[in-house]
Amino acid sequence: MSENKTHKIHFLPHDIYVDIEEGNTVLDAAHSANIYINSICGGDGICGKCKVVLSKGKVDAPPTTLISSEESENDYILACEAKIIEDLQILVPKETRLEGKKILLDQHEQHSLTWAAVLDKSHFTHNPLTKKLFLTMEAPTMDDNIADHERLCQAIMMDQGVELNVIQTDISILKKLPGIMRQGNWSVTVTVAHRGPVLEVVEIETGDTTQNNYGIAIDIGTTTVVTCLMELTSSKVIDSEAVYNSQMKFGEDYIQRIIYAIQNDFLNEMQKTIVSDINKTIHTLVKRHEIDLNNITSVVCAGNTAMIHFLLCLDPENIRKEPYIPTANFVSPFRATQIGIDINPRCILYALPSVSAYVGADITSGAAAIRLDKEELNCLFIDIGTNGEIVLGNKDWMVCCSASAGPAFEGSGVRHGMRAAKGAVEIIHITRDYEVSYSTIGNVKPKGICGSGLLDCIAEMLRCGIVDRSGNFQQDIKSERLRKKGDEYEFVLIEKEKSGIETDIVITQADISNLVRSKGAIYAALSILIESMGLSINDVSLLYLAGGFGNYLNVRNAITIGMLPDMPTSRIKFVGNTSLIGAKMALISKEAFETVHNIASQMTYFDLMGNPKYMEAFMSANFLPHTNLSEFPSVVEELSS
Amino acid sequence: MSENKTHKIHFLPHDIYVDIEEGNTVLDAAHSANIYINSICGGDGICGKCKVVLSKGKVDAPPTTLISSEESENDYILACEAKIIEDLQILVPKETRLEGKKILLDQHEQHSLTWAAVLDKSHFTHNPLTKKLFLTMEAPTMDDNIADHERLCQAIMMDQGVELNVIQTDISILKKLPGIMRQGNWSVTVTVAHRGPVLEVVEIETGDTTQNNYGIAIDIGTTTVVTCLMELTSSKVIDSEAVYNSQMKFGEDYIQRIIYAIQNDFLNEMQKTIVSDINKTIHTLVKRHEIDLNNITSVVCAGNTAMIHFLLCLDPENIRKEPYIPTANFVSPFRATQIGIDINPRCILYALPSVSAYVGADITSGAAAIRLDKEELNCLFIDIGTNGEIVLGNKDWMVCCSASAGPAFEGSGVRHGMRAAKGAVEIIHITRDYEVSYSTIGNVKPKGICGSGLLDCIAEMLRCGIVDRSGNFQQDIKSERLRKKGDEYEFVLIEKEKSGIETDIVITQADISNLVRSKGAIYAALSILIESMGLSINDVSLLYLAGGFGNYLNVRNAITIGMLPDMPTSRIKFVGNTSLIGAKMALISKEAFETVHNIASQMTYFDLMGNPKYMEAFMSANFLPHTNLSEFPSVVEELSS
């Protein structure tokens, strides 16, 4: 193997040099130089926010519509798409830098990896669930007179190395077979879909249309629905779109929604609501990228058990009643139109499998995304969404539990909480004199605070003594930011004139209590889970933290407030929305899809509610960082310094 | 093993004694005593025609609605249903005996075997394509809290010994799962269907409904559609119903119909026509037997390649154009409602596979029915329907061809020809003084002549010198039966006053020419096929003759006219409608279904039209029995005696 060349990249106006291997992107170089470059999409070449000026050198970059011709003449490039092939000088323009007060990424602030890096690390091979195959066959003769369908099946068999008897074709396809095969002069593109042991021929077209093959990965969260459009030929993420889950009007958490659906005989409407959200996101994406709906051949859905039940219109009633039984954890693939998704009528929908009523496809998908199934040593995987689900295990075993953490870190039940979207404060620093610096997603005026910002906020307020260890405001601090409004104290984070909304952005005493309870539930759950397996936190080699925080998460702050156990931050990885990542992987890799299923089959559900120690552990965790400080030696040291 | 007891049966008024093993039926005993007992249905307990009086002894017979209470008091029983458990005296009443002039079955007249005997001989195990399983599960608890669907799948897995990942369930079933499982107190009946590598859960019901499981086997012939209703729990044939194929109005043979469909863009209407015929027969059957359409879970269809194309609305155009390519020989199972069959919406339709444009699922089904795949020695299988298809082979190889024999032996193109239905003359004897005796199906007044009767007619006319070896009437015979009408000679078989129609039943010179051409095509094809494999007729150990003749076929007569080769009649077996028999077997045995598929995969199609020797062989066979008499030594001897 030839050694990879390295090149020197000079960033201006920072005047920082960094050496980086050929083939990395300019965005990668900026990250390794600790230079913040705006990129909402996480480096997928979608948002167009990472524009930089190439002042010296050449890069290898694909054409993009995100750079105007005027910008192009002025040497603008997208940092995330520009591959390094020689030494460069890069000017990071003002609009691409962090706005407001400048915040340098500290060593604990982890950026979730780019899609390309995550996919590469997963070692899943590219083998989409639905594929387009361009097949060229011999024309029939008197000596080679097998039927059209068998000619096609043999070509598929040769191309895919499958047994002939696993190939199935609906008669609607057979009807057009002779015409298409002859029109195409025996060269056709067939779309095949893996459906359990079957390889189904779902479409046939003349000519080579293999490039027109797209898929949709969806994470159906209780609070948000995130839809991602992918190019199946290349594993490339084209774009994604998120909306709030419109079911919220029927209840903030899914238990409320189940009760609502059952009491009002409203299950069909609940389904229509969620399907309508999905349709909206898909239509936005295909319109924006001028993609024909007929070229979308597969949809993979992850989400918690209740959301998957609502999506499929399956009876969710027994999910909330002891002994908490889902209708189905494993669902066979079916046509997406069967549940009202407005798409190519032959498109297949794959719902990822759940483990139990309270550990859903979001977790199995996430565990596959981080390849927990390949870990030699014990790992913890924590996904903080509307609930907190925790998996402990390695390649040989996995146990999981669900903590009723509530949606505080998703911004719900917090006055100015919001999801990690444009305008959300995602990083907050507070100085000893109570001055607040921050950055927002999209570098626009702040509209609210997302999970990572809330987490920073609590940690910083604890460090500065704005709150005490029980989470109460220290009313005697010398700052006008702390004020009493009505009966309640609140701390002004961003003044009205700097905010993108009509008011000051504050954090209230009730917000803090909510957040403390939420982090306490998570910590209590992971402690009990570890203890139940006869292990201690020292036996955990890696902790993966997932969830809809911002693009960054300060893992040190998560320890400081006692959400995560006191372990070296180098052993904690912030992994973003793993539910969606797993769905994206399953879409483009049958191996990943099967891994999710294997994980779902092997994972053991551990019921916290049935554990008498849980409530005690929860009460002890309702402090900052914890009642028992011996569990957080580094925090004791930090706070006393 | 205990030796089977034998009992003595005394038939009156014949005064014939016969010894027969315990467990055989009274009808079996009558057959072995060479006593003709009327039984249209072939011994399936359907037609109620085989009533006899049990004058001494007892039998083991199931209750039947076909015997009135008055008949029952007079000791009437159905001969085909009455199992022998002791010595008996049986009176065969006049109405059950052969009507008209008495004809004794001669040694060459073969009755096709009863369904029970054929099934037993096939060694296929009872394992229907769709099964109802009554499953009792444990109720879920906190310690055993798998989802409803997985609980069901595990029960199916345990019951059926299948892998979990082959079980698939549509979401329409998942929707009602929790309700049904709880209503049924965790005891449910599931209907599962084999669909290629998948075992699909197609229905779920509370309680034990396993007895309510019925299937439909259909033989779609160019001329007739025969539909058979079967009880899937027991392999029992409940009833069958036949109608003419209404597509006949678009052409007598399928090539004409293909041309009609293409030229008039009439394929959809062609499908509707055939589906309407099928619906008619199914509805007649379920109404007659008070069976709920929802309890019919599977349909198996056999038929020639063109008919299967019409049934599925597949483009048939390339079937008739060189190089003669079907759209599909193998078709994946699908829901019967998808093509308009008016039945339980979840019922699966299995179309049996074809080999080529001119060797269809009727032949693969038939070859499986006679278990050609188990034969050690070379066998010939000849199916005479609207065309004549011939298979030569054994367990190791099979070659097949199709002869354009035309539908003469199905009664088409023959003045008084008719299909083997009630009122058809099925046996004809002609004496040296030209007197005609006959018997009809159903023992009613004759309405026409079916295949076996036509075959007898030609043979007997040749023997008596009514026709010469070229098939021409000998105008100098002394009988008023031979007369000239218009330009053409005809022979009166049955006078108007004895017939069930308004005219004499005759056979014309044109009829004879048609029949001779038809038998000539068959003989030429089988000769060429045998010769092509480097074999002679002496290398053929058994000849199976199938087709819609009557209940009986005089195989000696088939040799005499030169349709079948001159071989000992003991090596010729008349096997009836094997296409339907194979479909019935496939319905109640997955092993049989797979055997049909294996046969279709292994069979090699041999194109007669491309063989220069065929036309010569056909010309030589256009004589009675043949131009080359050395091929028919026994006929030479017979005719000269």
Could you report the per-residue pLDDT of B173-214, keeping only the tens digit for each? 999 999 999 999 999 999 999 999 999 999 999 999 999 999
Helix/strand/coil for A367: helix
Q: Which domain range does residue B169 map to? A: 130-206
Please say if the pLDDT value at position B104 is more than 70.
no
**Contact between B149 and A605 using a beta-carbon 8 Å cutoff:** no
With contacts defined as CB-CB under 8 Å, which chain B residues touch A178? Answer: 315, 317-318, 325, 327
User: How many domains does chain B fold into?
Assistant: 5
Positive or negative: CA dihedral A147, A180, B302, B528: negative
Helix/strand/coil for A458: helix
| Predicted TM-score of the model (pTM) | 0.83
Are A329 and B147 a contacting pair, CB within 8 Å? yes
Q: Hey, of A138, A154, A168, which one would you mutate to test binding to chain B, going by the most B CBs within 10 A of its CB?
A: A168
∠ CA(B167), CA(B168), CA(B172), 5° rounding? 145
Please give the Cα distance from A409 to A112 (Å, whole number).
Answer: 17
* Helix axes of A171-183 and A148-160: crossing angle, nearest 10 degrees: 90
**Domain shared by A539 and A433, yes or no:** no
Domain CATH for A137:
3.10.20.880
- CB-based contacts of A524, cutoff 8 Å, min separation 6: A403, A614, A617, A618, A620, A621
Would B468 be classed as within a structural domain? yes
Would B363 be classed as within a structural domain? no
Positive or negative: CA dihedral B547, B549, B550, B553: negative
Per-residue pLDDT, A86 = 93
Per-residue pLDDT, A524 = 97
Nearest-CA neighbor of A528 among A373, A628, A403? Answer: A403
**Contact between B197 and A195 using a beta-carbon 8 Å cutoff:** no
With contacts defined as CB-CB under 8 Å, which chain B residues touch A607? Answer: 142
With contacts defined as CB-CB under 8 Å, which chain B residues touch A173? Answer: none
Look up residue B442 and give its two tokens.
């159903």
**Domain shared by B73 and B22, yes or no:** yes
Helix/strand/coil for A473: strand
Between B2 and B475, residue with greater pLDDT: B475
Would A103 be classed as within a structural domain? no
C-alpha torsion angle, residues B360, B366, B368, B369 (rounded to 10) = 160
Which residue is associated with the tokens 């007992």? B37
Which bin fits B102, alpha (ψ -120 to 50), beta or left (φ > 0)?
Answer: beta
Domain CATH for B22:
3.10.20.30
Please give the Cα distance from A25 to A31 (Å, whole number).
Answer: 10
**Domain shared by B461 and B577, yes or no:** no
Are B247 and B261 a contacting pair, CB within 8 Å? no
Q: Phi and psi (nearest 5°) for B35?
A: -100, 125
Per-residue pLDDT, B34 = 67
Per-residue pLDDT, A46 = 61
Q: How many CA atoms lie within 13 A of B139 on its CB side?
A: 7
**Domain shared by A535 and A397, yes or no:** yes
Q: Phi and psi (nearest 5°) for B572?
A: -115, 130
Q: Phi and psi (nearest 5°) for A94?
A: -55, -45
**Domain shared by A52 and A196, yes or no:** no
Are B540 and B527 a contacting pair, CB within 8 Å? no
pLDDT (mean) for B107-133: 87
With contacts defined as CB-CB under 8 Å, which chain B residues touch A142? Answer: 322-324, 607, 610
Cα nearest neighbour of A314 on chain B: B175
Nearest-CA neighbor of B100 among B439, B552, B504, B551? Answer: B439
Q: Looking at A327, A342, A361, which one is the last position of a domain?
A: A361
Q: From the DSSP assignment, how many helices (H) and strands (E) are in chain B? A: 16, 31
Report the gap between the CA of A328 and the closest CA in chain B (Å).
Answer: 5
Would A107 be classed as within a structural domain? no
Cβ burial, residue B25 (10 Å; 0-12/13-18/19+): buried
Q: What DSSP state is assigned to residue B339?
A: G
Query: pLDDT tens digits, residue range B256-288?
Result: 999 999 998 999 999 999 999 999 999 999 999
Per-residue pLDDT, A95 = 63
Would B358 be classed as within a structural domain? no
**Contact between B149 and A332 using a beta-carbon 8 Å cutoff:** no
Cα nearest neighbour of A198 on chain B: B197
Q: How many CA atoms lie within 13 A of A638 on its CB side?
A: 20
pLDDT (mean) for B123-149: 96
Q: How many CA atoms lie within 13 A of B402 on its CB side?
A: 21
**Domain shared by A464 and A352, yes or no:** no
Please give the Cα distance from B255 to B324 (Å, whole number).
Answer: 12
Q: Looking at B175, B206, B237, which one is the last position of a domain?
A: B206
**Domain shared by A595 and A501, yes or no:** no
**Contact between A610 and B142 using a beta-carbon 8 Å cutoff:** yes
Q: Looking at B496, B511, B526, which one is the last position of a domain?
A: B511
Are A464 and A449 a contacting pair, CB within 8 Å? no
Look up residue A159 and give its two tokens.
């191309």
Per-residue pLDDT, A152 = 98
Burial call A171-199: b when 16+ CB within 10 Å, e when fewer: bebbbbbbebbbebebebbbbbbbbbbbb
pLDDT (mean) for B25-47: 68
Per-residue pLDDT, A548 = 73
**Domain shared by A225 and A293, yes or no:** yes
* Cα B543 from chain centre: 17
**Domain shared by A254 and A342, yes or no:** yes
Please state, as a whole number, how many other Cβ atoms lie within 10 Å of the Cβ of residue B561.
29
Query: pLDDT tens digits, residue range B222-264?
Result: 888 999 999 999 999 999 998 888 998 888 789 999 999 999 8
Domain CATH for B311:
3.30.420.480
Look up residue B471 and give its two tokens.
């098939």
pLDDT band at B1; cut points 50, 70, 90: very low
Query: pLDDT tens digits, residue range B510-541?
Result: 999 999 999 999 999 999 999 999 999 999 99
**Contact between B314 and A146 using a beta-carbon 8 Å cutoff:** no
pLDDT band at B547; cut points 50, 70, 90: confident
**Contact between A607 and B323 using a beta-carbon 8 Å cutoff:** no
**Domain shared by B230 and B294, yes or no:** yes
Average pLDDT along chain A, 641 residues, taken 10 residues at a time: 77 85 87 66 61 90 80 86 92 63 51 84 96 97 95 97 95 97 97 97 97 97 92 94 87 89 93 96 96 97 97 97 96 97 96 97 98 97 91 97 87 86 90 90 88 95 96 94 94 93 93 95 96 96 89 91 96 93 97 98 90 93 96 94 76
Per-residue pLDDT, B329 = 97
Would B175 be classed as within a structural domain? yes
A/B interface, count of CB pairs below 8 Å: 162
DSSP B153-168: HHHHHHHHT--GGGEE
- CB-based contacts of A641, cutoff 8 Å, min separation 6: none
Please say if the pLDDT value at position B634 is more than 90.
yes
Look up residue B462 and give its two tokens.
């040749």
With contacts defined as CB-CB under 8 Å, which chain A residues touch B313? Answer: 171, 175
Cross-chain CB nearest to B198 (options A141, A198, A331): A198
Look up residue A129 and give its two tokens.
């669930």
Would B55 be classed as within a structural domain? yes
**Contact between B327 and A165 using a beta-carbon 8 Å cutoff:** no
Helix/strand/coil for B446: coil
Cross-chain CB nearest to B166 (options A145, A197, A330): A197
Domain CATH for B627:
3.30.420
Per-residue pLDDT, B12 = 82
Q: Hey, of B325, B355, B596, B597, which one would you mutate to test binding to chain A, going by the most A CBs within 10 A of its CB?
A: B325
Would A588 be classed as within a structural domain? yes
∠ CA(A245), CA(A251), CA(A256), 5° rounding? 125
Please give the Cα distance from A632 to B11 (Å, whole number).
Answer: 102
Per-residue pLDDT, B99 = 40
Per-residue pLDDT, A102 = 35
**Domain shared by B244 and B346, yes or no:** yes
Cα nearest neighbour of B322 on chain A: A142
Which bin fits B202, alpha (ψ -120 to 50), beta or left (φ > 0)?
Answer: alpha
Please give the Cα distance from A621 to A626 (Å, whole number).
Answer: 5
Please give the Cα distance from B515 to B467 (Å, whole number).
Answer: 13
**Contact between B327 and A148 using a beta-carbon 8 Å cutoff:** yes
Q: According to the 3-state scheme, what is the secondary structure of B525-581? A: HHHHHHHHCCCCHHHCCEEEEEECCCCEEEHHHHHHCCCCCCCCHHHEEEEECHHHH
With contacts defined as CB-CB under 8 Å, which chain B residues touch A331? Answer: 149, 169, 171, 174
Please state, as a whole number, how many other Cβ atoms lie within 10 Å of the Cβ of residue B330.
22
**Domain shared by B86 and B145, yes or no:** no
